[in-house]
Amino acid sequence: MVAKYKQYFQNDLQFEEFSKYHVIQLNDTHPIIAIPELIRVLVDENSIDFEKAVEITKNTFAFTNHTVLQEALETWPKDIMLEVCPRCFEIIEQLNENVVKEFKKKGLSEEAIDPYRIIRFDQIRMANLAIVMSKSVNGVAKLHTQILKDDTFNNWYKLMPEKFNNKTNGITPRRWLVYSNIRLSNFITEKLGTGDWKYDLTKLKGLEKFLDDEKTLEEINQIKYENKKDLAKYILENEGISIDPNSIFDIQIKRIHEYKRQHLNLIHIINLYHELKNNPDMDFYPTTFILGGKAAPGYFRAKAIIKLANEIARVVNNDPYVNDKIKVVFVNNYRVSYGEKLFPAADISEQISTAGKEASGTGNMKFMLNGALTLGTYDGANIEIFENAGVENNYLFGAKVEELNEIYNSYNPKEFYHTNEDIKDAVDALLSGELKDNDSYMFLDIYNSLINPQGGEKADNYFVLKDFEDYKKTHEKINKEYADRLTWARKSLKNIANAGYFSSDRTILEYAKDIWKL
């Protein structure tokens, strides 16, 4: 970038207009080393005064935060930084000194300055570096941005509120509808009489005039059924599991993490399996639960959740007493090409993260665009899905972030474990031997994470047991309401018609207008 600027602006080697032609949007804390690197290039290779280079850099960078989890608000050890890029560390030290001097001028004590330091205890706090050295800080959903202001970056927000803004994530309709769901794409073009919606997704709103047209609703159901048949065929070929396209396809596909609560889904499946075993004549619409996702290499508990999903699938799918009513699939190697088959076929989109923990999510948008109904907490972009399509056309459950904040210090999951038989039944199955796990210590770790605090970690840190009963009741409601196929199709069409807001076209235009000033 600097080389090109020098090529085209040979008469301005002071880089006066560099930030007019360049914006670097930092994608979370991982690439923030680019900040001192630009200063290094300007100062060391182009003889720019340090303070001037700092101002140029501040006007060039913008910072997008994607999570409130501490594990992604990176800190980099000084010794590694010195080994890998010592000059960048020197620059970061100078930037830290500037911050400290600025706050001392304002009369702050050493202790009061601590939250703002870029370097503390030989750790480089990359988020602080990004906030200090960026012209804009944004979250990726309304609630997420509010949490950044109220909590995660509250000290910074009080100092510089003008920097903070929201840019709700989006998805590309060309990939996630036009390409991956040709049947639905052709249907939309036929109903709207034009293909212009592909380039302006808000035009999907025109589908609302068909909400009470029975023929259109039947077409919606038929398209979904054909997509489900395609997925069933693919799963049989790739997973060796036969699933019924007439069953409810309940799908949770995303990175494996405790806050995303795949284990809430799995504990509910265990409880449901036991209910069907004990009461084979219970009124129940056959359901196929499909999960998929990958875990970080060193994330032991996430690996255990994958193991648990596969053990449950093995037991349930091989039980002749229930496998005509319930099937479980953990798809191998979940990826974009698999997603192109899963999103069009879903009836239910599981978006069940602990309220306040999911910054946005985009899988929820892909499901919505393809006509799935959201079963979700009041979290991330779920909130905007409920606002756009109507909460009555989706399934909201669980405690909200305000309630969880209130009970955080007093919460005791054992109260739920000992008073709710369904919870105790399902959680105990982790250790009962029923799942015949060869690595029982993996399931013991999940069990302990829910019931027994360990090593300074709170038990059930993500409120799985608190939300279980509401989650179970909401599933029961879904199971009853799915049988009314026309009403379900109407809800599905309402979601499709209101998915336009979640186009990445809108997101990028907002970045361009508000941050990049294009």
Q: Active site residue: 366, 472, 475, 491, which one?
A: 366
Residues 160 and 179 in one domain: no
Indicate if 248 and 332 belong to the same structural domain: yes
**Active-site residue (options: 191, 260, 475, 490):** 260
- Tell me, yes or no, whether 180 and 105 share the same domain: no
- Classify strands 287-292 and 326-330 as parallel, antiparallel or unpaired: parallel
Find the catalytic residue in 67, 145, 362, 474. 362
Contact at 8 Å (CB) between 261 and 353?
Answer: yes
* Same domain for 178 and 163: no
| Alpha-carbon span 464 to 458, nearest angstrom | 12
- pLDDT of res. 439: 62
The domain boundary residue, chosen from 167, 182, 204: 167
What pLDDT is attached to residue 82? 95
| Per-residue confidence (pLDDT) for residue 354, from 0 to 100 | 97
**Same domain? 177 vs 161:** no
- Listed in sequence order, the DSSP H helices in 193-278 are 214-239, 262-278
Does some domain include residue 139? yes
Q: Is residue 346 part of a domain?
A: yes
Asked, for residue 449, whether it belongs to a domain, the answer is no
**What residue has token string 């798809």?**
331
Does the active-site annotation cover 255? yes
CB 78 within 8 A of CB 122: yes
Is 276 contained in some domain?
Answer: yes
DSSP letter (8 states) at residue 457: B
Give the residue from 501, 506, 494 showing the smallest Cα distance to 217.
Answer: 494
pTM (predicted TM-score): 0.95
134 within a domain of the structure (yes/no): yes
CB 316 within 8 A of CB 323: yes
Among 149, 167, 254, 263, the one annotated catalytic: 254
Cα 349 from Cα 366, distance rounded (Å):
9
Catalytic annotation on 260? yes
Is the sign of the CA dihedral 49, 55, 57, 60 positive or negative? negative
Taking the mean position of all CA atoms in its chain, how far away is CA 290? 18
CB 265 within 8 A of CB 289: yes
pLDDT score of 453: 83
Residues 132 and 195 in one domain: no
Cα(205)–Cα(497) distance, rounded to whole angstroms?
A: 5
**End position of a domain, from candidates 148, 167, 186:** 167
Q: Are residues 347 and 279 in the same domain?
A: yes
**Whole-number Å distance between alpha carbons of 317 and 335:** 24
Q: What are the CA-CA distances from residue 59 to residues 21, 89, 518 (Å)?
A: 11, 21, 14
pLDDT of residue 176: 98
Report the C-alpha gap between 364 and 349 in whole angstroms: 7
How many folded domains does the chain comprise? 2
The yes-or-no answer on residue 366 being catalytic is yes
Q: Is residue 183 part of a domain?
A: yes
**For residue 149, is it within any domain?**
yes
Give yes or no: 215 in active site.
no
Domain match, 11 and 72 both = yes
CA-to-CA dists, residue 123 to 92, 158, 246, 375, angstroms:
11, 24, 55, 40
- Rounded-to-integer distance, Cα 220 and Cα 196, Å: 20
User: Which one of 255, 294, 458, 485 is the catalytic residue?
Assistant: 255
Same domain, 127 and 252: no
Q: Which of 167, 197, 222 is the last residue in one of the domains?
A: 167
Are residues 125 and 185 both part of a single domain? no
DSSP-derived letter for residue 490 is: H
The residue annotated as part of the active site, out of 6, 52, 58, 66, is 66
Q: Taking Cα atoms as reference points, which of 195, 170, 146, 124 lies closest to residue 512?
A: 170
**pLDDT beneath 50, residues of the chain:** none
Domain boundaries, position 185: 173-424+464-503
Looking at residue 40, its pLDDT comes to 98
